[in-house]
Chains A and B, each alone.
Chain A
Amino acid sequence: MNRFALHLAALAITLASTGPLLAEDDLPIRNCTFCHGVSGQGFMVAPRIAGQRPQYIENQLKSFMAQVRDNPYARKYMHNASANLTPNLVTGFAQYFASQAPRPADDGDKNLLATGKDIFENGIPSQNVVACVVCHGPSAEGVRQIPRLGGLSYLYVKRQLDQWNEGYRQAAHPMPKVAKFLSPGEIDALASYLSYVE
Chain B
Amino acid sequence: MGTTGFKLGVRSAAFALALCGMSHAADRGKGPVSRQSIESKIEYCLICHGTSGQGFRGYYTMPRLAGQQPQYIENQLHAFKEGRRLNPIMQNVVTGISPGMIQPLAEYLRSLNAAPHGGGPTEGAGLGKRIFEVGLPDANIPACAVCHGPDARGTRQIPRLAGQLYWYVTKTLTNFSRERGQRGEDSSGIMAPVARNLSPAQISAVAAYVSSLR
Contacts and interface: CB of A to CB of B under 8 A. Distances in A.
A2 interface: no
Contact of B51 (A137, A173, A181): A173
Nearest to A131: B89
Interface string A117-133: 00000111111101101
Contacts of B60: 134-135
Chain A contact residues: over half helix, strand or loop, or mixed? mixed
Contact of B43 (A123, A131, A134, A177): A177
A10 interface: no
Interface in A115-170: 122-128, 130-131, 133-138, 142-144, 146
B96 A178 contact: no
Nearest to A122: B92
B89 A128 contact: no
Contacts of B96: 124-128
Contacts of B95: 125-126
B interface, over-half SS: helix
A87 interface: no
B61 to A, nearest CB: 9
Given A134-B58, A134-B62, A125 B92 contact: yes
Nearest to B58: A135
B76 to A, nearest CB: 16
Contacts of B41: 128
Nearest to A123: B92
Interface string B69-88: 00000000000000000000
Nearest to A129: B44
B8 interface: no
Interface in B80-123: 89, 92-97
Interface string A167-193: 000000110011001000000000000
B26 interface: no
Contact of A146 (B44, B47, B48, B59): B59
Contacts of A174: 47-48, 51
A19 B171 CA distance: 34
B93 A136 contact: no
Nearest to A136: B59
A128 B59 contact: no
Interface in B35-69: 40-41, 43-44, 47-48, 51, 56-60, 62
Contacts of A126: 95-96
Contact of A130 (B40, B48, B94): B48
A131 B60 CA distance: 12
Nearest to A170: B3
Contacts of A138: 59
A136 B57 CA distance: 11
Given A122-B92, A125-B95, A130 B59 contact: no
A24 B59 CA distance: 30
A70 to B, nearest CB: 16
A133 B48 CA distance: 11
Nearest to B51: A173
B138 to A, nearest CB: 38
Contact of A177 (B47, B56, B94): B47
A128 B44 contact: yes
A144 B95 CA distance: 30
Nearest to A142: B59
Interface of A: 122-128, 130-131, 133-138, 142-144, 146, 173-174, 177-178, 181
Rank and list the top 3 A-B pairs by shortest CB-CB distance, nearest first.
Answer: A125-B96, A135-B58, A137-B59
Interface of B: 40-41, 43-44, 47-48, 51, 56-60, 62, 89, 92-97
9 contacts: A125-B94, A125-B97, A126-B95, A134-B58, A135-B56, A135-B58, A143-B59, A174-B48, A174-B51
